[in-house]
Structure 1
Amino acid sequence: MSNLFRAVTIDVDGNAEAVQWDTTTGTLTHLQQAVGGLVDLVALHEHVTMWVNDEGIVKGMPMNIVATSIARGFGFTHQPYFGTAVFTGGGDEEGETLGLSEQHVEALMNLARLAQLQLA
């Protein structure tokens, strides 16, 4: 079984990047580094989870308009999201976070580009 894990990060300027992590020691450290602190998850779909900084608004992080737009597309319209967002797959039967499939990476990158176009 491979320890390579695919995710998509979107910063507050709307820049999306497909990333690949070696998760031999788990995913939490990678997620915390990407969002700049403690993580909070938003289960957007069975196969897509968004991770953001748990204290993003309290720390004064800028709103992530692109990530918020993507979340709204999944029906999460109740709040904005702040700071860098990381998109991963859902969870397995043991609750471990899964990486994204190539198709989900492509779809999220396209959604990010569309959100940027709408905001331009």
Structure 2
Amino acid sequence: MHGPIAALSDNPSSLYTDEQAKHLLRLKYAFPVMVKKWRDLARAKSSYQELLTEEDRKKLDDCTKSKARLKVKYENKEEQGRELEELLQDIRTRQKEIMDERHEGLKTLKNSCC
């Protein structure tokens, strides 16, 4: 990182296009700020973890496990719902076939009687 920026400072026109030089200069000033923000976030995260009591960690763990159990239960119910929908569709298809057979039988009976 320092090599390209140092080369840019020494002789900007020889190594990079104007667009590349602009990006490198922006990065030269933005990079230290980004690193500081990352360090601050890492410190904040570690201090936050230290603030959690054992009871809080247990509650968080319990919630995570409950969420996983509920997700599995939900997925099982979704699968049962799909199976029931398929069964209902089969029943409706069979019901239609029976009604068609009945109508055909009545039609045949009517034609043979009259």
TM-score by length of 2: 0.20
Larger relative helix fraction: 2
Larger relative strand fraction: 1
Q: Which has the larger radius of gyration?
A: 2
TM-score by length of 1: 0.20
Which structure ranks higher in relative contact order (CA pairs < 8 Å, sequence separation ≥ 6)? 1
